[in-house]
Amino acid sequence: MTEPAALAFEERQYSLPQLDALADGLAANLAKAGLAAGQRAAVMASNRPEFVAALLAIWRLGATVVLISPAWKRDEVDHALGLTQPSHAIGDHPVLADLMPMLHLDEPITPTEPTPRSLPPRADAVLVFSSGTTGLPKAVRHTHAALHEAVRQWREALQLTRSDRIQIVTPPSHILGLLNILTVLRTGAWMRLHPRFDIDRMLQHIESDRITIEMAVAPIALAIASHPTLESFDLSSLRYIMWGATPVSASVAETVTKRTGVGWLPAYGTTELPVIACNPLDGPRLDSVGRSVAGVDIRVISLQTGEPVAPGEIGEIQARSDTLMAGYLPSEATAEVIHDGWYRTGDVGWLDVGGWLRITDRLKEMIKVRGFQVAPAEIETVLHGHPAVKDCAVFGVPDGINGEAVVAAVAICSPLDEEAVAADLTARVDERLASYKRLSRVVFVPDIPRLPSGKVLRRVLKERYGCTTNS
């Protein structure tokens, strides 16, 4: 009897036994290269079947996966490698290959018979990068046990079954892409991987593959809502579209529902705690990220006293669960966000008496662009390298569906052609950092407002220059 397909990519189809055999063949190649239990292997690859096989192969050797974004450039990847110290690398990206010996996923893999293996539940399964609250990106450590529980929570929140069909266009190095892939695999559902987001291909495959659950972040939602011929696609197979990574833009969601009849399922999670809250399928709402999922406790803490507040009162959102990260690398950063088992999300919001959670703001200085967190300090480091820059500070401004856009306030050393300097700085960031970290605007200031301690008063900058961007 032929095994049913579990994964599709372009014209290729793979059953679960075929994926297992591919993973074992890749594990054999990695073992020959010297990868052993307890070591780390960097993975920098596009969304493809071999990426999934690489995850499974590394785990079968008892090693830890270090996920590196394929959008990152050399300096970003170099920082990630220095922080995590992987002994091996696997992927399809030339940046990673330039920095250390890499087993290329285009190389032939000889499938072998799957070998069942058990993994230590408390061992690190994966390191996923998040910028945390300040500074350069941090590596978030998730154990096998925590990841297993996160998958269970996500499956229950989505009410995912073996009969569901999902396509994944979000980056696999991002926690949402990783969580979706693992949840589909462990549920026995079907998925299609796309190497990159293309709205027409996505809509065509909802129709041709009879996709039942679509995963969306804000730019995808906007692309669906603004598609000129959306009504020409048959989307009747969809049970709902999940909206994550940024708060729902109600007007965009309502436009899609009006044009297609498909409803939305808002959800909330972070790299550090992947599943926090989700709307129930029997009564989803666009004004809330939902109620806490089973296995996650949520509380709201006063910004003034640090004590829990009553329903309806605004404060910092905190959560605890067995799915909480094991910690950051560098490890000393962990204490900034975990206190007595509670994770400080850095988000500000409130809970109503029914347990519905609403997010209104963020304490963090992080800039959230299309669901990705951008650290101001990382961009400031690049800007400070320009000879014309005396001082600078980076902050976010509202940018509609994208969440926020990146703005740099710059004080220059002497009178110069500001337009030319702005162009130079924008190009400098484009050259060194991922595209979602690009500058939308450069504003020139006489000096950067700071506290006596040297801390930048970003709120002052936002008040002065924080109008919505038109870029």
| pLDDT tens-digit series, residues 365-424 | 778 898 887 878 889 889 988 989 988 999 999 998 888 999 999 999 877 889 999 999
The CA–CA distances, whole Å, from 423 to 302, 392, 427 equal 43, 15, 6
- Look up tokens 């999922």; give the residue: 293
Rounded Cα distance between 332 and 430, Å, is 31
Query: Residue 278 contacts by C-beta under 8 Å, 6 or more apart in sequence?
Result: 157, 158, 265, 266, 267, 268, 289, 290, 291, 293
Nearby residues of 196 by Cβ (< 8 Å), 6 or more positions away: 46, 47, 169
**Per-residue model confidence (pLDDT) at position 453:** 54
Report pLDDT for 325: 98
Neighbouring C-beta atoms of residue 444, cutoff 10 Å:
14
Report the SS3 class of residue 241.
strand
Long-range pairs of 418-423 with CB within 8 A, sequence gap ≥ 24: 418/444, 421/386, 421/388
Give Cα separations from 93 to 70, 78, 104 (angstroms): 7, 13, 8
The DSSP call for residue 437 is G
pLDDT over 60 (residue 468): no
Per the model's pLDDT, the better-predicted residue between 357 and 113 turns out to be 357
Burial class of residue 10 in the structure, from the number of CB atoms within 10 Å of its CB (0-12 exposed, 13-18 middle, 19+ buried): exposed
Q: Give yes or no for a contact between 35 and 62, defined as CB atoms under 8 angstroms apart.
A: no
Pick from 326, 362, 319: which is nearest to 458 by CA?
A: 362
Predicted confidence band of residue 91 (pLDDT cuts 50, 70, 90): very high
Residue 250: its pLDDT value, please? Answer: 84
Least confident of 129-133, 280-284, 434-438: 129-133
Please, what is the average pLDDT of the chain?
A: 91
Q: What is the pLDDT of residue 136?
A: 77
Q: Give the pLDDT band of residue 111 (cuts 50, 70, 90).
A: confident
Q: Output the DSSP codes for 184-217.
A: HHHHT-EEEE-SS--HHHHHHHHHHHT-SEEEE-
Provide the pLDDT confidence category of residue 158 given band limits of 50, 70 and 90: very high
Per DSSP bridges, beta strands 190-193 and 213-216 are unpaired
Cis peptide upstream of residue 330 (ω within 30 degrees of 0): yes
Q: Could you tell me the two tokens for 211? A: 């996709």
Q: What is the pTM of this model?
A: 0.85
